[in-house]
Amino acid sequence: MSAQIDIELTRQALASSTLSHGLGILGDRWTVQVLMGTFMGLKRFEQWQQQLGLPRSTLAERLRSLSAIGLLRARPYQDRPLRHAYHATAKTLALYPQVLMIWNWEKRWGQSDVGLPEALNHRRCGHKSTPTLACQACGGDADIPRMGLRLKPVPALLKFKPRLGRAPRIPVGSTPHVSLGLRVDRWNLLIVTAVVLGCHHFDQLSQVLGIGPSVLARRLEGMVESGLLRCDADRRDGRRRLYRLTPASRDLLGYIVCLSHWAGVHQFQQPSSIVPTHECGHEFKPLVVCSHCRQPLLAHEVAPQYAPTDTRSVAPKGHTARSDMAAA
Ligand SMILES: [Zn+2]
Ligand SMILES: [Zn+2]
């Protein structure tokens, strides 16, 4: 990465990125967990509350806001018409590649006690599958060394301020079941993206993200502690620190590009200001394929497999993501 970066261009590109705006909608941990619950077969208020252990008012607020943007559809129970079950919509299903990328990341880098499926079976080829990020144009693998990035701020998105408030503080261990993504929130993802774009120094990160020094210092310290960044002394200037990606944060690429793509296509109908290109020469659009047969992984063709001893398994037996998809 070049030390010469255009701070103002990078600032505008980050501020108008579909990533930043998408994270304004889906970047907080509870929202992500409620959505993951949908893909794991949860439909009723009590199921989410029991599995996620979040306060009733918080859950009610998340279900309301996800319904308002068309990510859940409330339908009355047949037996109790005054109560509602929450179903996935077509817009939710379009988030499936991102859900697979979360699963992948959690499997490699998250806590072991997360209540996620132990394995994913691809019905189409009959094999265990590791979701793999690929390029829609050529089908080839995609990771940071195979990608380039062009910056092109999007005026329509620059006008809106993304809703990037402070994420609620959730003590580790407070979510007994689907406790995923505890180390990853929207600011961390934006900081990782800024580092990918070549901002390695404290002052560069502060300027392009508009984060004040004390808050940024705490953030960076936390990310170094949790293995999302490496902090080295700058060889050219010993007083300065260089922040670099780690294998764990490099692995967030799939999550970042899938969320950016979804937000651009399904939420904002705008191109992203951070345009990834693939080594094949085409603009990169993500596809999540099966590691075994290289076919795209579709929700109704993937059967999650839970550990037999895991009595806290989120999806009851015979109730997989497939039955959820049929209802959507
Ligand atoms: Zn390609
Ligand atoms: Zn397969």
Q: What are the extents of the domains in the chain? A: 7-23+95-162+179-312
Helices (H) and strands (E) in the chain, counts: 14, 11
Q: Which ligand is nearest to the CA of 120?
A: 2
Type of residue at 322: R
pLDDT of 208:
96
Chunked into runs of 10 residues, the chain (328 residues) has average pLDDT values of 78 93 84 85 88 86 92 85 86 93 87 74 97 97 94 84 47 39 75 96 96 94 92 88 95 94 94 94 97 95 79 40 35
Residue 107 Cα to ligand 1 midpoint, Å, equals: 26
Residue 280 Cα to ligand 1 midpoint, Å, equals: 4
Residue 294 Cα to ligand 1 midpoint, Å, equals: 14
Half-sphere exposure in the Cβ direction for 29 (13 Å, CA): 22
What are the two backbone dihedrals, phi and then psi, of residue 316, each rounded to the nearest 5 degrees? -65, 160
Residue 201 Cα to ligand 1 midpoint, Å, equals: 31
pLDDT of 2:
46
Residue 129 Cα to ligand 2 midpoint, Å, equals: 6
Q: Which ligand is nearest to the CA of 138?
A: 1
Residue 102 Cα to ligand 2 midpoint, Å, equals: 19
The whole-angstrom separation of Cα 142 and Cα 184 is 21
pLDDT of 306:
81
Q: 24 CB contacts (<8 Å, ≥6 apart)?
A: 162, 163, 164, 186
pTM of the model: 0.85
Helix residue ranges per DSSP H, the chain: 7-15, 18-26, 29-39, 45-52, 56-68, 90-93, 96-109, 155-158, 186-196, 202-209, 213-225, 247-250, 253-262, 321-327
Tokens of 36: 């993951």
The whole-angstrom separation of Cα 59 and Cα 49 is 7
Residue 138 Cα to ligand 1 midpoint, Å, equals: 4
Residue 125 Cα to ligand 2 midpoint, Å, equals: 4
Q: Which ligand is nearest to the CA of 147?
A: 1
Q: Which ligand is nearest to the CA of 303?
A: 2
The CATH number of the structural domain formed by 7-23+95-162+179-312 is 1.10.10.10
pLDDT of 94:
94
Q: 114 CB contacts (<8 Å, ≥6 apart)?
A: 106, 177, 178, 179, 180
pLDDT of 325:
36
Residue 134 Cα to ligand 1 midpoint, Å, equals: 8
Q: For residue 185, which of 170, 198, 196 has the smallest C-alpha distance? A: 170
Please, what is the angle between helix 213-225 and helix 186-196, to 10°? 90
CB 118 within 8 A of CB 289: no
Residue 196 Cα to ligand 1 midpoint, Å, equals: 19
pLDDT of 183:
56
Residues in the chain: 328
